[in-house]
Chains A and B, each alone.
Chain A
């Protein structure tokens, strides 16, 4: 029984710890499908995290937290859109700048609030309870996997719903078709009367808002303890790589998040798995901690190499005009 409990908790952890990656990845997919490469995922998530957490606590409402996190991310996206769409700034540099800027805001706001009294999550009943696990009836009673997969907090379910909704939006709606057209060939989209700039603005803000919620999740998952390291902790960068792994499909992103999460979670659960199954998996405990820490990044590198080989014509989801600014009168 105890041994099975270890597996259940491992499955549970894979989901709990890695859902922010799904938010980051899906958000970035929305942005990239409009032809914009936003490398500022890390900063956008940080901004969503800090504002979402603080306002959520002050209002004592998870809903307000989610909304503020979304808005904070969206406003950051607006900044990116203004710089790259209206002012034609280089997307790579703007994205990198926003990462630095976002982390700066995160620590500036965090430290300012901390000096007057940091809101401790445990004191805010509604936030704490809102973030508590919700059992899905019947499904969560399935032995072994039930409590691992079907007993999670609201934001986990929301993340999956957003991913599926975005997948459907991109593939099965007329607006999604137009969005993809812009990412592939903005001149073609423009020539048939699609408002390229407006579509880019809307989707950059939307995608960045989704990233913001992912940031908020990370803050909550760490019980809102603010210290010298940022809550986001590199997840924004991994999300950028996961977009490529997912081949720009939100549906594949769900799968990718959990494949990636599997290795990522070994770091946390490796020793307890080793203890539960000493004969078969005891060797997990012998892997040095540094190896586990490096694992997510090694996997990312392997994934990038593998996916770059895979590209066959028409099968790649890579938007052809990704990273290129569009200016109608350019020849």
Chain B
């Protein structure tokens, strides 16, 4: 007897205009199984899953639920069939409470809204083993809470088949552990789970089987226990890939950017960065590690001139940059690229083409009142070619690109401007292996050319391999700056949580002050030594 699948897709094809997003894809999941769907950015994983959740309709192919053929025309149909999807960009109403976000999709909720709904949702939340205040508004929630809410939502609607689209991209290490615990429990209860990810260690950790897609095509499905990260990578990328990150040794220059006693407030007026000092030399990558929301965003914005500082000094090659306009800072060669948690928001205009986005930072250079689109086009095409951006053309609006390609365009534009200091936050957030390595290569190339890089990251393994030094932040305070080759994950983890404070490690040298500083008083100190 053939094995009964909870859900099975056969020969699914989906095209958008002339782009083939999915070509003849097969996929099957059993009850009580976790299937990882693995593939690079833009390989059609999300599109495929959106056909299960009713967002898209396949052009051809068939879908079976519990062995019976079904058609899914709308999310309503999917819900009725017991398919629930946690989308990568959460589908939540910000101004609603947690309970209302669930309640709005409830079948037969009754005509009048009563306060009892909070109690019912609270009970359900506890029954599923989660913790969430049902009256909390979504805009007050942290990312992990929003995700929890999404999971409770699909469970509440009675989903048997649960799809999670890159659920770990925005979570911290501890949150991922917790999520995986939840997934394992749901698996034991007999749910069929599909998890989209491109982090190989997670695939190995959580899944029973792995389905691999490449450029819209289905490659194969393998048992997780019988494969390795190396093998999966080769299937995913289609060729052998070196999983090591280079850390070229470059002769460093005197400090390019020095920050002393910097204090910054966040939007609510609380202290985000508290008396922080550090410096970046040309030819080095300084990593910034810390739990999400420890002032990383505020720090980046302050350096770029987008946020006023409370006190402290920032000098670039000996010149003060505090109080300069973002434009003046840009002209000094300091470039900032920040990939926010939702990966869309910042730095690019989504509806404009790649060319126009290239021009956003350059239009002032054109002679006369007209924009020089010719150079813009050349720049755009060079970035597309050098960084292997997957796009139908340079005229394509940025929002039509997949996440990784958007990030390549953003970073590509920043580098085009020829900066000497690059501030980049989460440049590989949500990116697949190939794209991530392209980004690391770009950064390393800049480093060897003598650029100083501030790299705000989240993956400690990557930071340990890529950065020369790592500064650890905890609640806006520096817990110390360590050499990447002399430390390890455990030490960084302890510093991130504030358990270990190495900021006073060297008694002879204040933390974050360069010996050969370009600050006036520092020079004197140097002469004395």
Q: Do A and B come from one complex?
A: yes
| 10 additional contacts (CB under 8 A) given A177-B113, A181-B104, A314-B95 | A172-B112, A175-B111, A178-B104, A180-B93, A184-B94, A187-B91, A190-B75, A192-B75, A194-B104, A195-B74
**Beta-carbon contact of A195 and B113 below 8 Å:** no
With both beta carbons as reference points, the residue of chain A lying nearest to B78 in the complex is identified as: A193
Contacts of B53 in A (CB 8 A): 191
Within 8 Å by CB of B91, from A191, A314, A329, lies: A191
Known: A174-B113, A314-B137. A192 touches B79 (CB 8 A): yes
Cβ-Cβ contact count across A and B, 8 Å cutoff: 83
For the complex formed, measure the closest distance between the CB of B58 and the CB atoms of chain A, giving whole angstroms: 12
Bound together, the chains give a CA A178 to CA B107 distance in angstroms of 12
- List 26 A–B pairs whose Cβ atoms lie within 8 Å, in order of A's numbering: A172-B112, A173-B111, A174-B103, A174-B104, A174-B109, A174-B111, A178-B104, A181-B93, A188-B91, A189-B93, A189-B104, A189-B105, A190-B75, A191-B53, A191-B75, A191-B85, A192-B79, A192-B91, A192-B105, A193-B105, A194-B104, A195-B76, A314-B95, A314-B139, A329-B55, A329-B56
Please encode chain B, from 489 to 528, with 1 for each CB lying within 8 Å of some chain A CB and 0 for all others: 0000000000000000000000000000000000000000
With both beta carbons as reference points, the residue of chain A lying nearest to B92 in the complex is identified as: A188
Known: A174-B109, A177-B104, A331-B400. A193 touches B76 (CB 8 A): yes
Bound together, the chains give a CA A200 to CA B110 distance in angstroms of 20
Q: Is the interface of B mostly helix, strand, loop or mixed?
A: loop
Question: Is A310 located at the chain interface by the 8 A CB criterion?
Answer: no
Bound together, the chains give a CA A174 to CA B117 distance in angstroms of 11
Q: Is the interface of A mostly helix, strand, loop or mixed?
A: helix
Bound together, the chains give a CA A191 to CA B90 distance in angstroms of 10
Contacts of B93 in A (CB 8 A): 180-181, 184-185, 188-189
Bound together, the chains give a CA A222 to CA B400 distance in angstroms of 55
Within 8 Å by CB of B55, from A171, A172, A192, A328, lies: A328
Bound together, the chains give a CA A194 to CA B53 distance in angstroms of 14
**Beta-carbon contact of B75 and A193 below 8 Å:** yes
Bound together, the chains give a CA A192 to CA B94 distance in angstroms of 15
**Beta-carbon contact of A185 and B139 below 8 Å:** no
Question: Is A176 located at the chain interface by the 8 A CB criterion?
Answer: yes
Question: Is B363 located at the chain interface by the 8 A CB criterion?
Answer: no
With both beta carbons as reference points, the residue of chain B lying nearest to A195 in the complex is identified as: B76
For the complex formed, measure the closest distance between the CB of A329 and the CB atoms of chain B, giving whole angstroms: 6
Bound together, the chains give a CA A177 to CA B111 distance in angstroms of 10
For the complex formed, measure the closest distance between the CB of B22 and the CB atoms of chain A, giving whole angstroms: 14
Contacts of B110 in A (CB 8 A): 174
Of A175, A176, A185, most buried by chain B (CB within 10 Å of CB) is A185
B: residues with CB less than 8 A from A are: 53, 55-56, 74-76, 79-80, 85, 87, 91-96, 100-101, 103-106, 109-113, 137, 139, 153, 157, 399-400
Bound together, the chains give a CA A195 to CA B105 distance in angstroms of 10
For the complex formed, measure the closest distance between the CB of B436 and the CB atoms of chain A, giving whole angstroms: 23
**Beta-carbon contact of B112 and A320 below 8 Å:** no
With both beta carbons as reference points, the residue of chain A lying nearest to B108 in the complex is identified as: A174
Contacts of A328 in B (CB 8 A): 55
Bound together, the chains give a CA A174 to CA B100 distance in angstroms of 9
**Beta-carbon contact of B100 and A177 below 8 Å:** yes
**Beta-carbon contact of A173 and B113 below 8 Å:** yes
For the complex formed, measure the closest distance between the CB of A314 and the CB atoms of chain B, giving whole angstroms: 6
Of A181, A194, A320, most buried by chain B (CB within 10 Å of CB) is A181
With both beta carbons as reference points, the residue of chain B lying nearest to A313 in the complex is identified as: B139
**The 7 nearest A-B residue pairs measured at CB:** A192-B105, A193-B76, A188-B91, A174-B109, A191-B91, A193-B79, A184-B93
For the complex formed, measure the closest distance between the CB of A201 and the CB atoms of chain B, giving whole angstroms: 16
Bound together, the chains give a CA A174 to CA B106 distance in angstroms of 9
With both beta carbons as reference points, the residue of chain B lying nearest to A188 in the complex is identified as: B91
Within 8 Å by CB of A184, from B80, B96, B399, lies: B96
**Beta-carbon contact of A185 and B75 below 8 Å:** no
Contacts of B399 in A (CB 8 A): 331
Of A176, A177, A314, most buried by chain B (CB within 10 Å of CB) is A177
A: residues with CB less than 8 A from B are: 171-178, 180-181, 184-185, 187-195, 313-314, 320, 328-329, 331
With both beta carbons as reference points, the residue of chain A lying nearest to B86 in the complex is identified as: A191
Bound together, the chains give a CA A194 to CA B102 distance in angstroms of 12
**Beta-carbon contact of B103 and A177 below 8 Å:** yes
Of B53, B101, B137, B139, most buried by chain A (CB within 10 Å of CB) is B101
For the complex formed, measure the closest distance between the CB of A128 and the CB atoms of chain B, giving whole angstroms: 38
Bound together, the chains give a CA A185 to CA B85 distance in angstroms of 17
For the complex formed, measure the closest distance between the CB of B102 and the CB atoms of chain A, giving whole angstroms: 8
**Beta-carbon contact of A185 and B111 below 8 Å:** no
Bound together, the chains give a CA A176 to CA B103 distance in angstroms of 12
For the complex formed, measure the closest distance between the CB of B510 and the CB atoms of chain A, giving whole angstroms: 40
Contacts of B95 in A (CB 8 A): 184, 314, 320
**Beta-carbon contact of A191 and B103 below 8 Å:** no
With both beta carbons as reference points, the residue of chain B lying nearest to A174 in the complex is identified as: B109
**Beta-carbon contact of B103 and A185 below 8 Å:** no
**Beta-carbon contact of B96 and A173 below 8 Å:** no
For the complex formed, measure the closest distance between the CB of A185 and the CB atoms of chain B, giving whole angstroms: 5
Bound together, the chains give a CA A194 to CA B103 distance in angstroms of 11
Bound together, the chains give a CA A188 to CA B94 distance in angstroms of 10
For the complex formed, measure the closest distance between the CB of A37 and the CB atoms of chain B, giving whole angstroms: 18
Of B87, B104, B110, B113, most buried by chain A (CB within 10 Å of CB) is B104
Contacts of A177 in B (CB 8 A): 96, 100, 103-104, 113
Bound together, the chains give a CA A328 to CA B94 distance in angstroms of 19
Known: A185-B94, A192-B79. A174 touches B112 (CB 8 A): yes
**Beta-carbon contact of A192 and B104 below 8 Å:** yes
With both beta carbons as reference points, the residue of chain B lying nearest to A184 in the complex is identified as: B93
With both beta carbons as reference points, the residue of chain A lying nearest to B102 in the complex is identified as: A192
Contacts of B56 in A (CB 8 A): 329
Bound together, the chains give a CA A181 to CA B105 distance in angstroms of 10
**Beta-carbon contact of B91 and A185 below 8 Å:** yes
**Beta-carbon contact of A173 and B76 below 8 Å:** no
For the complex formed, measure the closest distance between the CB of A186 and the CB atoms of chain B, giving whole angstroms: 10
Bound together, the chains give a CA A320 to CA B93 distance in angstroms of 9
Bound together, the chains give a CA A331 to CA B14 distance in angstroms of 15
Contacts of A181 in B (CB 8 A): 93, 96, 100, 104
Bound together, the chains give a CA A192 to CA B105 distance in angstroms of 5
For the complex formed, measure the closest distance between the CB of A116 and the CB atoms of chain B, giving whole angstroms: 48
For the complex formed, measure the closest distance between the CB of A98 and the CB atoms of chain B, giving whole angstroms: 26
Bound together, the chains give a CA A199 to CA B256 distance in angstroms of 58
**Beta-carbon contact of B112 and A191 below 8 Å:** no
Contacts of B79 in A (CB 8 A): 192-193
Within 8 Å by CB of A172, from B103, B105, B113, lies: B113
**Beta-carbon contact of B92 and A185 below 8 Å:** yes
For the complex formed, measure the closest distance between the CB of B140 and the CB atoms of chain A, giving whole angstroms: 8
Bound together, the chains give a CA A173 to CA B104 distance in angstroms of 10
Contacts of B94 in A (CB 8 A): 184-185, 320
Contacts of B400 in A (CB 8 A): 331
Bound together, the chains give a CA A184 to CA B110 distance in angstroms of 22
Bound together, the chains give a CA A219 to CA B153 distance in angstroms of 50
With both beta carbons as reference points, the residue of chain A lying nearest to B76 in the complex is identified as: A193
Contacts of B96 in A (CB 8 A): 177, 180-181, 184
Bound together, the chains give a CA A194 to CA B400 distance in angstroms of 26
Bound together, the chains give a CA A309 to CA B55 distance in angstroms of 38
**Beta-carbon contact of A192 and B113 below 8 Å:** no
Contacts of A192 in B (CB 8 A): 75, 79, 91, 104-105, 153, 157
Bound together, the chains give a CA A175 to CA B74 distance in angstroms of 20
With both beta carbons as reference points, the residue of chain B lying nearest to A193 in the complex is identified as: B76
Bound together, the chains give a CA A192 to CA B104 distance in angstroms of 8
**Beta-carbon contact of A191 and B87 below 8 Å:** yes
With both beta carbons as reference points, the residue of chain B lying nearest to A318 in the complex is identified as: B95
Bound together, the chains give a CA A180 to CA B95 distance in angstroms of 10
With both beta carbons as reference points, the residue of chain A lying nearest to B401 in the complex is identified as: A331
